């Protein structure tokens, strides 16, 4: 299942998140480390849960590049780069992108349903989808597997002990589950193709 070619996807993805932050800091005429208000990010793809509709479904994807706080943005960018790198060593760049963005969109969608009055943005859902896939497809002897586990533990701890929700956010759990399921399907398909041992 390993791949000989390592695409630049992981680096490009992580850098694109940081680049969008820098661009918006310039666009909003504020220092790069300042908080970027959710209301200001709506014109670029953030949205309130109750305002999600078929016509603005593109926001499920665009919002994944938007963040309110600089540390949160950097954490997500680094985790996505590390996890996408680890995962891309085992499967195609296309799969990595589909799982990350697709799982991220699933998480954003369920967040919108669960929190209709909240602004939806951020790439936490994307990295958790990648983490779910990494836990299934990457050998636990590799550093990427442990990065995935650490990322999940940190997300749970922040949800339960730091955020106002006091429980695991639905967007996080559904994104993680999406990554798990997608990777399990790939793993099962690859195993079915492997030649069976003959006694």
Confidence of residue 198 (pLDDT cuts 50, 70, 90): very low
User: Does the pLDDT value for residue 4 go beyond 60?
Assistant: no
CA atoms within 13 A on the CB side of 149: 12
CATH T-level topology, domain 9-193: Rhomboid-like fold (1.20.1540)
pLDDT tens string 94-134 = 999 999 999 999 999 999 999 999 999 999 999 999 999 99
Can you give the pTM of this predicted structure?
0.94
- Helices 143-157/70-88 angle, 10° precision: 150
Could you tell me the two tokens for 140?
């636990």
pLDDT tens string 15-61 = 999 999 999 999 999 999 999 999 999 999 999 999 999 999 999 99
Tell me which residue of 178, 185, 29 sits closest to 104, measured CA to CA.
178
Confidence of residue 165 (pLDDT cuts 50, 70, 90): confident
Residue ranges of the domains in the chain? 9-193
- The predicted structure's pLDDT at residue 196: 57
> For residue 33, which phi and psi values (nearest 5 degrees)?
-90, -5
User: Does the pLDDT value for residue 199 go beyond 50?
Assistant: no
Place of tokens 């200001």: 40
- The predicted structure's pLDDT at residue 7: 78
Could you tell me the two tokens for 98?
């589909």
User: Does the pLDDT value for residue 143 go beyond 50?
Assistant: yes
What is the average per-residue pLDDT within 83-93? 95
Average of per-residue pLDDT values in the chain: 94
């Amino acid at each position: 299942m390993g791949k000989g070619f390592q695409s630049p996807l992981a680096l490009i993805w992580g850098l694109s998140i940081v680049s969008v932050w820098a661009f918006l800091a310039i666009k909003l005429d504020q220092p790069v480390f300042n908080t970027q208000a959710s209301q200001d990010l709506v014109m670029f793809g953030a949205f309130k849960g109750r305002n999600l509709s078929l016509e603005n479904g593109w926001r499920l994807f665009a919002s994944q590049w938007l963040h309110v706080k600089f540390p949160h943005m950097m954490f997500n960018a680094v985790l996505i780069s590390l996890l996408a790198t680890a995962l891309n060593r085992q499967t195609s760049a296309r799969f990595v992108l589909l799982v990350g963005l697709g799982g991220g969109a699933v998480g954003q969608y369920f967040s919108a349903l669960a929190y209709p009055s909240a602004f939806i943005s951020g790439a936490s859902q994307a990295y958790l989808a990648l983490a779910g896939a990494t836990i299934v497809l990457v050998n636990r002897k590799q550093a990427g597997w442990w990065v995935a586990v650490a990322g999940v533990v940190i997300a749970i701890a922040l949800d339960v002990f730091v955020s106002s929700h006091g429980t695991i956010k639905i967007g996080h759990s559904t994104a993680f589950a999406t990554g798990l399921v997608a990777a399990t399907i790939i793993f099962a398909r690859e195993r079915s193709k492997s030649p069976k041992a003959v006694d």
